Amino acid sequence: MDNRAALTAFGENLASRGAPQTRERYLRACESLITAAGDTPLAHIKRHDLQRALAKLHAQGLSPRTLAVTLSAWRAWFRYLSKTDATFSSTVFVGIKAPKAAKRLPNALTETEAVRLVSAPVENDAQQSAWIVARDQAMFEVLYGCGIRMGELVGIDLADVDLANHELRVFGKGRKERVVPLGAPACAALQSWIAQRTVGVNVIDTNAVFLGARGERIAAPVVRKALKARALQQGISSNVYPHRLRHSFASHVLQSSGDLRAVQELMGHASIASTQVYTHLDFQHLAKVYDQAHPRARARSQKKTSD
């Protein structure tokens, strides 16, 4: 089987079991290996050939993240070929690693921006009904007030809301259950929304707390669109999305409390390593406070300016 035929067969295999976006991304990555191989049959490629091909792509400016996907695609291709052709072996990839990507810090809003975002607008959009305004207000208060994920938000049922005890039950990754506290603003917004949730709507999903306009459980794209509209309405020009409110929640709670273990529990992180990334944001905040407040820091800042 020549290189091009091998890629065609792999593409057909991906089409039968993978997402279209993944298939296209993997096929593009494998095209780069065909180019690097030239006239060399894939079955004859050695470890150093793969390392050289990867290094060349890196030199062309591909990011570590893209190179990691590329390497993953190559491995998947060889695993597939090794099942149909004994001349192929996926062990040729042993020891080959993509360059490490720099860890990106979570993109949190400032406390002022977050509070402004979730505060009810002074003037409501004339095109929005009171029903939508109440629903959106409750969603935004819960997203920022509880730091939950998008999937957890849309999955909330009426039985999960305990307004009397200011608690909310959510189901995270792997359907892992946790209970998070509801602050007073979130409780008030939820109470207002639930009171008018069924008014003028043919409710299809009777369990769901948050509904779409047709009465079904609300979909994630609707939440994203509503949040972007609220950000523009409140004069926040940066990109605002539901997970950014989760980052903001974690960062702001950690800045105020310094309790990393508690933030881990609130966020539903299985490992505290996932929560530790917010300590970097906390340090940035502390460094900024230091630069603004400490006499020696001010002197250093003034010296830099004069230099």
The residues annotated with a catalytic role in the active site are 149, 173, 243, 246, 269, 278
Q: Which residue has the tokens 């959009």?
A: 125
